[in-house]
Amino acid sequence: MKIEVRDLEKSWKEYTLTNDHGMQVNVLNFGGIITKMLVPDKAGNLENVVLGYADYKEYQSNPNYFGAIIGPVAGRIANSQFTLDGQEYKLENNEGVHHLHGGTTGFHQVIWEVESFEKSDAVGLLLSYTRADGEGGFPGKVDVQVTYTLHQTNQFEISYTASTDKTTPLTLTNHSYFNLSGNLRNTLHEQHVSIDSDHVVELDEKLIPTGELLSVEGTTFDFRNARALQDGFNDDTEQNRVAGQGIDHYFIFNENNKETKATAADPVSGRKMTVQTDQPGMVMYTSNNLPEGLQLQEGTSRQYLGVCFETQASPASLHHEGFPGVVLKPGEVYQTRTLFEFGVW
Ligand code: FUC
């Protein structure tokens, strides 16, 4: 196992974690961005399974949030406004009148302090950032730590810890776009996904949750048994249409003791990924609105090239009853974990 560090321009650094099976994860201190993840296919070939720019400088704006830590609140906050303890807060409108993924000062746009560590069976990085009270319009000084651990078992673990000195909304995630075909060989059409979820959150035409839950029964949102992602691309329902002809929805995980909440698999390469998390749900985004022609490491971007599994609570809880909450209070510790395990089938 090893950890390498490379100095880039403007105090940016790139860390490379490698385990003894050759699995490799590259991470920037800017945005905590995962720029590359080399994973073996069924024949043992190591190839990249995430979308990343060919030129790291492109991450300076990163409007598609490739690989980044997302916060303080992942997802959309309707009308860029919320009320906590009787006080109204106004955030930046960075998507029409709405607020998305922490805005331009979000956690994907800041330099994180990074310490590396090595254990007997893992290598990793501890990333830290302190959000000042009022930054981006959010209340509270918030201390955040994100740990990336690459285990010898080809598991990549992300754990998040945060505390605040004022009541504040917070739900963190990682925005990696996975493509298990390897080196962007194919789009997602034939890749299979399963999600342990009976319900998705209904969206309006601006992708804001209406407050209603939809049963997945009898729809192409039913991933309780693995299905090809193209089912949702080809389905002509209003919900697929508002998402840009695909899926961009919050799935509420079923309450049970199962550790694995989702899986993804590519029938050609044989790569399989399982997602384990303690989070109550996740947004699955199938890159319906990914622009064409961005220069990526293994070619150019196009629609349906990567799928995000954004494990998190729901910012819709700031405006509606019955959604997994995002409020963190002083004295509480936000502590969550998501693990991506790679194998073959
Ligand atoms: C996801 C989606 C959004 C957005 C962004 C790039 O998190 O929920 O719709 O397009 O990624």
Write the CA distances from 13 to 7, 19, 29, 111, integer angstroms.
Answer: 5, 20, 6, 10
Binning pLDDT at 50, 70 and 90, where does residue 330 land? very high
Instruction: Give Cα 133 distance to the centre of its chain.
Output: 25
Band the pLDDT of 65: cuts 50, 70, 90. very high
Nearest atom in ligand 1 to the alpha carbon of residue 65 is 6
Task: Give yes or no for residue 14 CB within 6 A of ligand 1.
Answer: no
Answer yes or no: is the C-beta of 283 below 6 A from any ligand 1 atom.
yes
Task: Establish whether the linkage from the previous residue to 72 is cis, with ω within 30° of 0.
Answer: yes
Q: CA dist 50 to 11, 22, 26, 118, 189, Å?
A: 24, 16, 11, 24, 16
| Closest C-alpha residue for ligand 1 atom 1 | 285
Distance CA 143, CA 330 (A): 11
pLDDT (0 to 100) of residue 116: 98
64 Cβ closer than 6 Å to some ligand 1 atom: yes
Ligand 1 lined by 248 (C-beta under 6 Å): yes
Whole-number pLDDT of residue 156: 98
Ligand 1 pocket: which of 101, 176, 288, 307 to mutate (most atoms within 8 A of CB): 101
- In the 8-state DSSP scheme, what is residue 316? G
SS3 56: helix
Q: Which atom of ligand 1 sits closest to the CA of residue 243?
A: 9
pLDDT digit string, tens, across residues 153-205? 999 999 999 999 999 999 999 999 999 999 999 999 999 999 999 999 999 99
Residue 309 in contact with ligand 1 by CB distance below 6 A: no
* CA atoms of 264 and 319, how far apart (whole Å): 32
What is the structure's pLDDT at 279?
Answer: 98
Which pLDDT score, from 0 to 100, does residue 176 have? 99
Q: Which residues are catalytic?
A: 175, 310
* Predicted local confidence at residue 316, as pLDDT: 98
What mean pLDDT do residues 68-79 have?
A: 98
Q: What is the DSSP code (8-state) at residue 329?
A: -
CB 92 within 8 A of CB 83: no
CA 2–ligand 1 middle distance (angstroms): 33
Question: How large is the average pLDDT for residues 282-303?
Answer: 98
Residue with CA closest to ligand 1 atom 6 = 64
What pLDDT, on the 0 to 100 scale, is given for residue 131? 98
Question: What is the predicted pLDDT for the residue at 144?
Answer: 98
pLDDT of residue 68: 98
For the segment 219-230, what is each residue's pLDDT rounded down to a tens digit?
999 999 999 999
pLDDT at position 133 is 98
| Host H or E run for residue 261 | strand 260-265
Taking only the tens place, the pLDDT of each residue in 242-288 is 999 999 999 999 999 999 999 999 999 999 999 999 999 999 999 99
Q: Are 128 and 113 in contact (CB under 8 A)?
A: yes
